[in-house]
Amino acid sequence: MAGIYIHIPFCRKRCHYCDFFKSTDLTQKARLLAGLKNELESRAPELNSEEINTIYLGGGTPSVLLMDELKDLLSTIRQNYKVSIDAEITMEANPDDLSQAILSAIHGIGFNRLSMGIQSFAESDLKLMNRRHGVMQAIQSVKWAKKAGFSNISIDLIYGLPNQTLEEWERNVGIAVELDIQHISAYNLTYHEGTVFYDQLKKGVLKELPDELSLQQFEVLIRILKEAGFEHYEISNFCKPGLYSQHNSSYWKSKKYLGIGPSAHSFDINSRRWNVSSIAKYLQGLENNEPYFETEILSEQDSYNDYIITGLRTIWGISEEFIKTEFSAQYFIHFQKVSKKYVQSGHVIYSSGKLTLSQDGLFISDKIMADFMVVESC
């Protein structure tokens, strides 16, 4: 079982909070697509004994691609990899690129899951974030997607925005629930260096929301979505029963994945690899058979820490038995010591050999993960 992620590094406009690798210069699109095909073909041997269960087109903005370009990418994957018949095939899309006809075509060529970057249902938030779409466009796009045949739709929302009140956030979550979709990813705003929001924060143009208010927004999110029948299966992810993002779940369950395109990361259990975050260097590398990526062989400590960070984020948690059998004794001793502390404080729940975060633990998840991790040889 393995997954393929393809990074489409183009956006029509830069959102003010976003630090993903992207370019607003689309002139290199055709050359980049040829590069992605080249990388897909040349790396097929890495997964030749694996069945591909998930394909994810992310970015950037995959919906800037034309239908023939999307079709071509999917056929390149099908020609070079063993894609399972019921594979989850997701495409990220921005509401302003969509219409009924486009969504029907996207569904028709084989995408069976749609992840829409909506972020907020308040016009003022969308303007502040420099998003291109409006609220009505977002709502209409979800309706069109359903009509086009998508029965697995996810939307992204952001909370903790400057000046966002609890009531405004509650209204956002309420609208998302009314849309009757299957999956919601909700992230607390982070001010990443290099973004417009970061500069505005430093200049005092924007003011960070107090931590207590962001936490209250997180609580409201969990309460409303649970009442509406969503499972809270990962710190920032909620789904209708069983409709987990299979692709993202494979990251959290440490399954193999291939990352294609500039800045994309790959993981094969023993090593991590990341492609260069530059379209020019990526293409130059591929076209001239020069390196365009770096690789890191994972040490035991890296693997232990990865297992902790990914496992603790989810309802599947960390297996005590796995830590005992897969890692040296000193990791198990450290793990037991930290587990005891957090089980006693009620931030972590121990049940049937698995450790998961409790509701209180979710609010201090960063600290708990940091404590479980090993930063020096133990």
14: contact with ligand SF4 by CB under 6 A: yes
94: contact with ligand SF4 by CB under 6 A: yes
With contacts defined by CB under 6 A, name the span among 10-18, 47-55, 105-113, 174-182 that binds ligand SF4.
Answer: 10-18
Q: How far is the CB of 158 from ligand SF4 (least distance, A)?
A: 9
Answer for which of 18, 148, 175, 239 binds ligand SF4 (CB under 6 A) is 18
235: contact with ligand SF4 by CB under 6 A: no
312: contact with ligand SF4 by CB under 6 A: no
- Residue among 69 and 156 whose Cβ is closer to ligand SF4: 156
With contacts defined by CB under 6 A, name the span among 13-21, 223-231, 297-305, 308-316 that binds ligand SF4.
Answer: 13-21
Q: How far is the CB of 126 from ligand SF4 (least distance, A)?
A: 11
11: contact with ligand SF4 by CB under 6 A: yes
Q: How far is the CB of 124 from ligand SF4 (least distance, A)?
A: 17
| Phi and psi at residue 245, to the nearest 5° | -70, 110
20: contact with ligand SF4 by CB under 6 A: yes
Answer for which of 15, 93, 126, 357 binds ligand SF4 (CB under 6 A) is 15
Q: How far is the CB of 189 from ligand SF4 (least distance, A)?
A: 12
List the structure tokens of 40: 């897909």
SS3 for 278?
coil
Answer for which of 62, 95, 117, 285 binds ligand SF4 (CB under 6 A) is 117
Q: How far is the CB of 14 from ligand SF4 (least distance, A)?
A: 5
Secondary structure letter of residue 44 according to DSSP: G
The residues, any chain, with a CB within 8 Å of residue 98's CB and separated by 6 or more, are 63, 141, 144, 145
Check if the beta carbon of residue 325 is closer than 8 Å to that of residue 302.
no
Q: DSSP readout, 174-198?
A: HHHHHTT-SEEEEEE----TTSHHH
Q: How far is the CB of 24 from ligand SF4 (least distance, A)?
A: 8
- Residue among 263 and 266 whose Cβ is closer to ligand SF4: 263
Q: What angle, rounded to 10 degrees, do the helices at 365-372 and 300-312 form?
A: 150
d(CA 340, CA 13): 49
User: Which of the residues 59 through 88 are near ligand SF4 (CB under 6 A)?
Assistant: 59-61
Query: β-strands 153-159, 256-260: how paired?
Result: unpaired
- Residue among 63 and 314 whose Cβ is closer to ligand SF4: 63
List the structure tokens of 131: 């998003």
Answer for which of 4, 5, 8, 22 binds ligand SF4 (CB under 6 A) is 22
- Residue written as tokens 């070079």? 80
Strands (E), 235-340: 237-239, 256-260, 265-267, 271-275, 293-297, 318-319
Check if the beta carbon of residue 141 is closer than 8 Å to that of residue 190.
no
| Torsion angle in degrees (nearest 10) through CA of 154, 159, 165, 171 | 10
Q: How far is the CB of 130 from ligand SF4 (least distance, A)?
A: 8
Which residues contribute to the site for ligand SF4 (CB under 6 A)? Answer: 11, 14-15, 18, 20, 22, 59-61, 94, 117
